[in-house]
Amino acid sequence: MILAALLSSLSTASVAGSELWGKAVMAEPFEDQPFRPIIPPDWVWDTLGAGYTLSGQDTEARAHAARLGVAISELNVVDPFYPYYDSRLLKRRSPHVPLDRLPADIAEYKRLGIRILAVYPPSLQGEAYELHPDWRRVSTNTREVPSVDLQAHPYGGMLCLLGPYGDFFIEVLAEILTLHPDVDAFSFDGLHYGGVCYCQHCREAFRTGTGAEIPDVNMEDAAFRRYQHWADRRMEDLVRRLQARLKAIKPSVALVTWTTNAGRFGHLRDIPRNMPARMNLLLDAPDQEFWMDESNRGATIVPAFANAYLWAVTNHRVGFSEPYLMSHGNPYGKDSFPAHEVERRMLLALTHGAFPSIAYAQPPRLRAAVNHSLKEVQRRRTWITRKSPEPWAAMVMSDNTRVFYGRDPGQVEARYQAGVFGAFRAALETHLPFTLINDWNLNPEDLRPYKVLILPNTAVVNERQTDAIRQYVRSGGGLIASLDVSLCDEFGNPRGDLALGDVLGVSLRGPAESKADPQPELDVNFARHLDASYWAGRSQVWTFARTRGGQLDSPGLRALLDEENVTFKGPAVRVAVSTHTAHVAGTLAPPGSDAADTMPAVVLNQYGKGRVAYLAAGFDSAYYLYAYPYQRVLLQELIEWAAASPPPVTVKAPMCVQAVATRQRRDGERLVIHLFNDVNTTAFHALPNDDVPLREETIPIHDIQVRFEGYSIRRVHLEPDALELAMKPEAGGMVVTVPRLDIHAMVVAELWEGLGSPLNK
């Protein structure tokens, strides 16, 4: 009866108006209505300071945090055992938390100017688990309802958000907001469906919607891949209904909650996925856990990528990133964690577009470092809110390719993600201005501002996306693509050939396997120390040769290679040139083979007005997995060759400096070029698989040059230290010199109003 009443109230509640929703994005399978992103409330865009753990702090600590800029923090309103208020939906009351505590905490947060982030673990609630067995999540293909010993585990077990419990969950939140209208936002530890559920409600809904039964978990099974899309839509619909319900009560309330992302690298290896990346567009501000321990690729390019990707999945709106202050992930702890590393991690997140959040409660030895870092973030407030990327190159990170092509959690890094990470690394080290984008951004409107599109092994694209890419290149956009790009449809089903083959100028001939001896004769002093695992990782070894006088016979590559051929270790596919406009710029062959075994490695094509470089050899993947410097130069030169115009912003600095260009349209119009010094003075001297950045000092970088081309600039200054930079005209552009970079600084170019940039003309 209670549930029926709740559903009735849900259907009759006034739904917030269409002004809550943005323009529809690319459709996915099993949609029953256009997918529209939520438009965050105005206050979210400027809420820079998220400081967690204040719920466990006293008044003095909370007040101190507020003075440092902490503007939002959590308050627990429901835990896995009890609600902390007098609920008509959840009857049990906590013997540990008096009912007057929550109102008192809310009043104190309000007095201190701290916004209230109400916390509710969404899939774990002991009372609901006990009273509604049919709401329990069933994680294996069985009709047996799971059960736990509620005496030993009174919190119960996982509940299914895709059925009636999801409706109940929404109504509990609506009740909280109605009883406590000062709540500003909600946060959930795990708002996802766990990849699969076989409860009776999921079975019935899937059968009704598709006429089929939910298959066993098997990403190689096309039927299960269809189920994953179906479950994704169910999860998105839950969040859509949740937003409408809550904002009908209080339009300014927000979902500021945890997301699954590369900040914890294991999330990117979760296959089946727990939530689609697109669901982030239904959150007002997703927050990621940002770990840099060994299992999360802390000593690689992945931490920088994680923060850029977090910003990307919001469509470059607002996302938070909380650095976890741990020395290692095994054992988890802060043993001898250096204070300097706190600032490094927070400013790295800020550089790549995220708002750094932090757990305010820390051991005494780290409190000063956290306070200092919060102050440093606030000193940059003026130049980091309400920003957008400055477009030139767009690089796709495809969640659909990750799941439906990567398929195996143990293989997805090498099979797909390595290509994205390698391309990201090359662009970052060469300081090319680029922007991470998503599957849904592969449409004419979103691609229009960019001069070159990078598709690192983007295997899964649908017909609308291929049409958009084809139109983009035909109209003059550049394209860099590799390996199995466009091989699969939206379900991951392989096509007979590459759907973009006409654009690339190639047709697929199948996988490429090196016939080289996997264990060639080596110097005995080298070979004696190698085991089987060494050879297992070195089976795909090739000789790469550049075409004499071609695009790759360049000064940059000659400086590294002279006229010699070079080793390439990495994935490759066999293709044939299929159009007269295409030509081979480089070849692969097994070491020591004859000319008959040679195949294209790099194919260049002219398609309409656009230039295309296709990498049948995965140089992007190799630059992450088994890198040679020539791969970085090759990728840089091809990106610049394919682009319709030169980069509008170029940075001359060591490769340890990360540069990110953003645009602000507030208090006038400006460009903000973030510079982050990622040098590690221990140079990652430990075992690579287990090393993590624990930096205790920095080495300043001097005399970094930033060049602007095509902008009408009033003045340039270096922030947050308000240092005016002299503008020097140079060959049609304008150059400034940054005298010193310690950790992070911003080159701010104030533009003449209305004149904008060459990319918008």
Give the per-residue pLDDT at 518.
52
Q: Predicted confidence band at 517 (pLDDT cuts at 50, 70, 90)? A: low
* Among 515, 509, 459, 454, residue whose Cα is nearest residue 483: 459
Q: Predicted confidence band at 731 (pLDDT cuts at 50, 70, 90)? A: confident
Q: Predicted confidence band at 12 (pLDDT cuts at 50, 70, 90)? A: very low
Taking the CB of residue 613, how many other CB atoms lie within 10 A of it?
26
pLDDT digits (tens, 9 = 90+) for 412-427: 999 999 999 999 999 9
Distance separating alpha carbons of residues 287 and 486, to the nearest angstrom: 31
**724 by DSSP, 3-state: which?**
strand
Q: List Cα–Cα distances, 638 to 149, 330, 556, in angstroms.
A: 61, 41, 12
pLDDT digits (tens, 9 = 90+) for 225-261: 999 999 999 999 999 999 999 999 999 999 999 999 9
In the chain, % of residues over pLDDT 70: 93
Query: 561 or 732: which carries more pLDDT confidence?
Result: 561
Give the per-residue pLDDT at 49.
81
* Among 104, 127, 121, residue whose Cα is nearest residue 2: 127
Q: Predicted confidence band at 512 (pLDDT cuts at 50, 70, 90)? A: confident
pLDDT digits (tens, 9 = 90+) for 518-538: 555 556 665 555 555 554 554
Location of structure tokens 């790469």: 544
Give the per-residue pLDDT at 666.
76
Distance separating alpha carbons of residues 387 and 660, to the nearest angstrom: 12
612 neighbors 585 (Cβ within 8 angstroms): no
Give the per-residue pLDDT at 620.
98
pTM of the model: 0.94
**Is residue 97 exposed (0-12), middle (13-18) or buried (19+ Cβ within 10 Å)?**
middle
Domain boundaries, the chain: 2-133+161-193+235-379, 393-642, 649-760
pLDDT digits (tens, 9 = 90+) for 414-464: 999 999 999 999 999 999 999 999 999 999 999 999 999 999 999 999 999
Q: Predicted confidence band at 492 (pLDDT cuts at 50, 70, 90)? A: very high
CA dihedral 296, 301, 304, 307 (to 10 degrees): -50
pLDDT digits (tens, 9 = 90+) for 119-174: 999 999 999 999 999 999 999 999 999 999 999 999 999 999 999 999 999 999 99
- Residue 596 pLDDT > 90: no
In the chain, % of residues over pLDDT 90: 87
* Among 419, 414, 382, 364, residue whose Cα is nearest residue 397: 419
Is the peptide bond prior to 720 cis by the omega test (within 30 degrees of 0)? yes
Q: Predicted confidence band at 18 (pLDDT cuts at 50, 70, 90)? A: low
Q: Predicted confidence band at 2 (pLDDT cuts at 50, 70, 90)? A: very low
Distance separating alpha carbons of residues 713 and 671, to the nearest angstrom: 9
Taking the CB of residue 175, how many other CB atoms lie within 10 A of it?
19
Chain mean position to CA 761 = 30
Question: For strand 744-751 and strand 713-719, is the pairing parallel, antiparallel, or unpaired?
Answer: antiparallel
Q: Predicted confidence band at 591 (pLDDT cuts at 50, 70, 90)? A: confident
- Residue 754 pLDDT > 80: no
How close are the terminal C-alpha atoms of the chain, in Å? Answer: 61
- Residue 6 pLDDT > 80: no
Q: Choose which CATH entry (3.40.50.150, 3.40.50.300, 3.40.50.880, 3.40.1280.10) describes domain 393-642.
A: 3.40.50.880
Q: Which CATH superfamily is domain 649-760 in?
A: Golgi alpha-mannosidase II (2.60.40.1180)
Q: Predicted confidence band at 514 (pLDDT cuts at 50, 70, 90)? A: confident
Which DSSP helix (H) or strand (E) runs through 396? strand 393-396
Query: 2 or 734: which carries more pLDDT confidence?
Result: 734
Give the per-residue pLDDT at 505.
98
pLDDT digits (tens, 9 = 90+) for 277-327: 999 999 999 999 999 999 999 999 999 999 999 999 999 999 999 999 999
- Residue 9 pLDDT > 50: no
* Among 122, 38, 674, 67, residue whose Cα is nearest residue 371: 67
Distance separating alpha carbons of residues 636 and 539, to the nearest angstrom: 27
Average pLDDT over residues 638-654: 97
Residues 6+ apart with CB under 8 A from 731: none
Give the per-residue pLDDT at 138.
98
Convert 55-91 into a string of H (helix), E (strand) and C (coil).
HHCCHHHHHHHHHCCCCEEEEECECCCCECCCCCCCC
**Is residue 95 exposed (0-12), middle (13-18) or buried (19+ Cβ within 10 Å)?**
exposed
Give the per-residue pLDDT at 689.
83
| Domain 2-133+161-193+235-379, CATH | 3.20.20.80
At 453, give phi and psi (nearest 5°): -115, 130
